[in-house]
């Protein structure tokens, strides 16, 4: 029996397409998803934040593509071990929280000695962490040499909405939490 040529071509085309589709399924795909926002409810504990922050740092934050924790020697990027200890004395007038927040919202304002600028502004795309995600990241950073004190109510002195934080209003803004507007009483009451 003779199969007509057009039919042969058709069969071959279908077979080849099917074969490559099949092989394509077998090869593990590196899919590129837009980063998913980590949903964070307002009742998360400090320990929850630390855990979420660690996950973000090794996941969508891409922090560990550059940074290490506990590695020494000639490094291209600052090792983050003990960063909570150094954070409070890196910049005059900056406490630990303010320094850590600035190093995430504005990495290029202060460059760690011995390193070059080049850390991405992680609150902006492509990494684009939300304020809450950055809050969790800071909580985790606080555990690197220190004790996490971050809560969902802690006023972080920078935010995506007020990216300049204390930079724009130098002296007073550090104390009043700038953009959030409502929950400032707690901080001011401490004086
Ligand atoms: C492309 C590489 C890169 C990525 C990704 C990156 N960083 Fe950095 N980071 C740097 C460089 C370079 C510096 C040092 C220069 C500077 O001070 O800005 C730095 C500095 C820091 C500092 C200050 C360290 C110190 O000792 O004072 C912190 C904290 C930090 N990064 C946290 C993070 C976190 C958290 C993430 C992820 C959300 C992250 N980085 C992602 C490159 C990176």
Is 179 within 8 Å of 159 (Cβ atoms)? yes
Nearest CA, atom 7, ligand 1: 119
DSSP secondary structure string, 96-114? HHHHHHHHHH-TTTSPPTT
Confidence bin at 5 (pLDDT 50/70/90): confident
Confidence bin at 55 (pLDDT 50/70/90): very high
List domains and CATH numbers for the chain: 38-180 (1.10.760.10)
Q: Alpha-carbon distance 175 to 152, whole Å?
A: 18
pTM: 0.76
Per-residue pLDDT tens for 73-98? Answer: 999 999 999 999 999 999 999 999 99
Q: Which residues contact 163 (CB under 8 A, 6 or more apart)?
A: 105, 106, 123
Question: Is 120 exposed, middle or buried (CB count within 10 Å of its CB: 0-12, 13-18, 19+)?
Answer: middle
Is 140 within 8 Å of 90 (Cβ atoms)? no
Q: Alpha-carbon distance 96 to 31, whole Å?
A: 37
Nearest CA, atom 23, ligand 1: 103
The enclosing H or E element of 182 equals: none
Lowest mean pLDDT among 13-22, 114-123, 164-173: 164-173
Q: Alpha-carbon distance 135 to 91, whole Å?
A: 20
Q: What is the mean pLDDT of the chain?
A: 85
> 62 CB under 6 A from ligand 1?
yes
Tokens describing residue 133: 């995600």
Whether residue 61 is predicted with pLDDT greater than 70 in this model: the reply is yes
118 C-alpha to ligand 1 centroid (Å): 8
Mutate-to-test residue for ligand 1 from 70, 87, 90, 107, highest number of ligand atoms within 8 A of CB: 107
117 C-alpha to ligand 1 centroid (Å): 9
> 66 CB under 6 A from ligand 1?
yes
């Amino acid at each position: 029996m003779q199969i007509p040529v057009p039919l042969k071509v058709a069969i071959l085309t279908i077979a080849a397409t099917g074969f490559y589709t099949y092989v394509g399924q077998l090869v593990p795909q590196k899919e590129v998803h837009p980063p998913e926002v980590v949903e964070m409810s307002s009742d998360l504990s400090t320990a929850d934040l630390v855990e979420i922050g660690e996950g973000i740092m090794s996941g969508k934050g891409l922090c560990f593509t550059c940074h290490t924790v506990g590695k020494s020697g000639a490094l291209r990027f600052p090792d983050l071990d003990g960063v909570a200890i150094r954070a409070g004395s890196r910049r005059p007038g900056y406490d630990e929280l303010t320094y850590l927040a600035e190093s995430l919202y504005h990495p290029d304002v202060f460059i760690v000695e011995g390193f070059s600028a080049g850390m991405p502004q992680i609150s902006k795309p492509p990494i684009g962490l939300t304020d809450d995600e950055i809050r969790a990241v800071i909580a985790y950073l606080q555990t690197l040499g220190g004790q996490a004190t971050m809560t969902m109510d802690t006023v972080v002195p920078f935010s995506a909405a007020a990216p300049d934080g204390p930079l724009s209003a130098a002296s007073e803004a550090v104390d009043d939490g700038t953009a959030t507007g409502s929950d400032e009483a707690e901080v001011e009451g401490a004086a």
